[in-house]
Amino acid sequence: VDGFRFDLASVLARDEDGVPLENPPILWAIESDPILAGTKIIAEAWDAAGVYQVGSFVGDRWAEWNGQYRDDVRRFIKGDRYTVGPLVQRLMASPDLYPSPKRNPSHSINFITAHDGFTMYDLVAYNRKHNEANGEKNRDGHNDNHSWNHGVEGPSDNPEIEQLRLRQMKNFMTILLISQGTPMINMGDEIMRTQQGNNNAYCQDNELSWFDWTLVERKADLLRFVRKIIGFTQEHELFHDQHFWKPEGKGNGPLVTWHGVHLNKPDWGEDSRSLAFTLRHPQSREHLCVMLNSYWEALDFELMPLPAEERWHCVVNTGAPSPQDFCELEKTTAIDADHFRVEPRAAVVLIAKEAVKRPASNSLFRRIRSVTHLFV
């Protein structure tokens, strides 16, 4: 067993009269139990009676489901107002909730969806819950889901709507997997599993909540994309360093600079729907550029200048048709422009790569070596 997740864990922080305790003994006992020392312990840091402890859950080992991450990323991708500032905190593993040195990025369990609530496909296919099958006249389940159906409630035979929904799911997966923190993916989101708009399917032990294995082939495009981006993040130290991102010139670990469509000028305004950042690791010398556009029109982002021997290369572009939405680094081509166009409602990840030496130099070397052989 790798670990345990405690449902509505904040109920364990109450005394026998239901009053929240500052140092609840049962939670400290779980944390300090020697048998559990090698396991992960994860809290759903709220309960049904109103206690909300995300960012303030007791103990040093407990990781927490970050409900703020879920809501803020959903709102940004949907295109809501007042979303760029909160998104920055979530991308950085929520240092506003988990301040160092007591906490580190791994304490934040980042997620878009879970077993409670909409699946990721339903998040982009339904404006409202459809829980009639639960027998409670659709009164159960949350009403505030930050979802958007993109024009049609439920499945659509309009290919443009379905393609936009697929792009939005790729945007969710991209942001989730490049964010600092511990990512959590709900079973089946990688293959567009649906519960037909039911956001409280705990009582549905049937095809509605089961894993549909036929989707593995039918939705292979998204599965391929998720596999590729997981592999990409596993290969780069930037995504594993347990130092919170810091501004350039401050501290160890990854160094971040925030931008908008113009370099060093992020737009924190209430109507802003775009964000870019460059992320550099001084030890591994990795250098990334991420551009996020939740606006309904394409935007041109200025690119950070690189040293003469380096060029930007595009690895992820959710605005490109499949399979060009992900490109293996060794197959990418250098970007020679000083800007990059990001399509409407799309995410792009670039990586700096040393420029390939000119073939002419190699040819000249081969010619010189051949001439040398002639005179030996």
Whether the Cβ atoms of residue 352 and residue 312 lie closer than 8 Å to each other: yes
Spot the catalytic one: 2, 22, 44, 338.
44
273 and 222 in a single domain? The answer is no
Alpha-carbon distance of 5 to 327, in angstroms, equals 35
Token pair in block for residue 320: 């490109």
178 and 301 in a single domain? The answer is no
| Four-point Cα dihedral 44, 49, 51, 57, nearest 10 | -30
178 and 325 in a single domain? The answer is no
3-state secondary structure 231-293: HHHHCCHHHCCCCCCEECCCCCCCEEEEECCCCCCCCCCCCCCEEEEEEECCCCCCEEEEEEE
Per-residue pLDDT of 158-202, as tens digits, reads 999 999 999 999 999 999 999 999 999 999 999 999 999 999 999
220 and 278 in a single domain? The answer is no
Spot the catalytic one: 2, 7, 31, 71.
7
Collapse the DSSP code of 9 into the 3-class scheme (helix H, G, I; strand E, B; otherwise coil) and give the result: helix
Give me the CATH number covering residue 310.
2.60.40.1180
- Whether 365 is covered by a domain: the verdict is no
75 and 163 in a single domain? The answer is yes
323 and 256 in a single domain? The answer is yes
87 and 140 in a single domain? The answer is yes
Residue 250: its pLDDT value, please? 77
Of 204, 234, 264, which residue constitutes the final position of a domain?
234
Give me the CATH number covering residue 196.
3.20.20.80
Alpha-carbon distance of 266 to 236, in angstroms, equals 25
Whether the Cβ atoms of residue 149 and residue 162 lie closer than 8 Å to each other: no
Residue 60: its pLDDT value, please? 85
Per-residue pLDDT of 11-31, as tens digits, reads 999 999 999 998 999 999 999
Domain count, the chain: 2
291 and 162 in a single domain? The answer is no
205 is known as an active-site residue:
no
Which residues of the chain register pLDDT less than 70? 356-376
- Whether 374 is covered by a domain: the verdict is no
What pTM does this model have?
0.92
- Whether 30 is covered by a domain: the verdict is yes
249 and 349 in a single domain? The answer is yes
- Whether 275 is covered by a domain: the verdict is yes
- Whether 125 is covered by a domain: the verdict is yes
Residue 367: its pLDDT value, please? 34
Of 192, 209, 234, which residue constitutes the final position of a domain?
234
285 and 210 in a single domain? The answer is no
Whether the Cβ atoms of residue 124 and residue 318 lie closer than 8 Å to each other: no
- Whether 306 is covered by a domain: the verdict is yes
13 and 104 in a single domain? The answer is yes
- Whether 73 is covered by a domain: the verdict is yes
Range of the domain at 264: 243-354
Alpha-carbon distance of 254 to 251, in angstroms, equals 9
Of 234, 259, 278, which residue constitutes the final position of a domain?
234
Collapse the DSSP code of 34 into the 3-class scheme (helix H, G, I; strand E, B; otherwise coil) and give the result: helix
Alpha-carbon distance of 294 to 322, in angstroms, equals 20
Alpha-carbon distance of 266 to 262, in angstroms, equals 7
Alpha-carbon distance of 126 to 152, in angstroms, equals 8
- Whether 278 is covered by a domain: the verdict is yes
3-state secondary structure 329-366: HHHCCEECCCEEEECCCEEEEEEEEECCCCHHHHHHHH
Residue 356: its pLDDT value, please? 58
Token pair in block for residue 218: 């039918």
248 is known as an active-site residue:
no
**In whole angstroms, how large is the CA radius of gyration of the chain?**
24
Q: Which are the contacts of 325, defined by CB distance < 8 A and separation ≥ 6?
A: 170, 225, 316, 317, 318, 319
209 and 261 in a single domain? The answer is no
